[in-house]
Amino acid sequence: MASGAPANDGRPGCSKTGGSCINEGVGTLSEQNRGADFTRFAASEAGRLARLAYTLTGDYEAARDLTQDALVAVFGSWERVASADSPVAYARRVLINRRLADLRRPRVDELLTAEPDGWVAAAGSEDGKYDEREAVWQALSNITVRQRTVLVLRYYEDLSDSEIADLLRCRQSTVRSLAARGIAGLRSIVLGSAAVDRREVEPPEPRSTKT
């Protein structure tokens, strides 16, 4: 589990988020208290969900939309979420499912008319040297979404293959396969980019004058 995950205090169906027990007294608290629970949950976890969304999408706007989408869905099922062992895990599952479900929906192309908020220029570092992390980040957009999802869950969320398989509702062997192919894709792209970059940055070796 990634850092920042809510600690379970051991009581069934009770997770601590933001210092309070999310579902304490579910069934006895008023709707108002449940709303307050959701409020605390959203305040506590929105940032973390947004970071996960950003690593999944690689796009600022899409990450914000995805996070909002997931929170609205969580709110719609809050009673069920609050009674789950880990509301955070539930929200993460919702977010990932929506990310994958987006792929099945018809795409709507957006025409950018202005620089989006939070836009960060890609490309290399300021001194023009090859930026390996930037290359990996760019390469992530060139592997499949399922491969990227598996890699993010494994290397960012630090989930085990069995946890990822449970999240994606697939076999562990499928997770391993997606991860292996994703890593292979990244390696191929990054190493290729590095080779190209070196050719651009480094002057060519002087040709031998020997005959």
Partner 1 sequence: MTDIETLLRATLRSHADRAPTADEVLRELPDLGSLAPGEPREDTPRRSVKRWAIPALAAAAVAIVVVSAAVLLPDRNGESRGVSNHPSTSPLAPQAPPGTRLVGMGRLAVAVPEGWSTNDEKCGIPLSNTVLFEANGQRTCLITLRPKVSALHIVSTTSAFARPWMNQDLPSSEVDGVTIERSPTRTGGDPPLAHMGNGLAVGALVAPSEGVVMWMTSPDPTVVDSVLDSVIVLPAGWVTIPFNPNLPLLPNELVALKRIGLNVEITRRDLPGRSAGALSGVTPAFGSVVPVGSTVHLVVDSGN
DSSP reduced 3-state for 105: coil
Q: What is the dihedral of CA 192, 60, 105, 185, to 10 degrees?
A: 20
Amino acid at 29: L
Alpha carbon distance 26, 40 (integer Å): 15
Between 9 and 142, whose beta carbon lies closer to partner 1? 142
Across the chain, the runs of DSSP E, i.e. the strands, are 16-17, 20-21
Count of residues in contact with partner 1, rule CB under 8 A: 50
Q: What's the min distance (Å) between Cβ of 211 and partner 1?
A: 40
Three-state secondary-structure class, residue 15: strand
Show the tokens assigned to 55: 């690593």
Q: Which two tokens stand for residue 112?
A: 């950018």
Residues 120-159 that bind partner 1 (CB under 8 A): 120, 132-133, 136-137, 140, 151-152, 155-156
* Residue 58 Ramachandran class (φ > 0 left, ψ -120 to 50 alpha, else beta): left
For residue 82, the tally of other CB atoms under 10 A from its CB is: 24
Residue from the set 8, 9, 11, 36 that interacts with partner 1 by CB under 8 A: 36
Residue whose CB is less far from partner 1, 9 or 194? 194
Q: Give the nearer residue to partner 1 in terms of CB position, either 71 or 165.
A: 71
| Token pair 């018809």 in the structure block, residue | 106
Which of residues 22, 42, 95, 159 is near partner 1 by CB under 8 A?
Answer: 42
- Does position 50 interact with partner 1 (CB under 8 A)? The reply is yes
Nearest to partner 1 of 14, 185 (CB atom): 185
14, 22, 26, 53: which one binds partner 1 (CB under 8 A)? 53
- Which residues would be at the binding site for partner 1 (CB under 8 A)? 30-32, 34-36, 38-39, 42-43, 46-47, 49-55, 60, 63-65, 67-69, 71-73, 75-78, 80, 117-118, 120, 132-133, 136-137, 140, 151-152, 155-156, 183, 186-187, 190
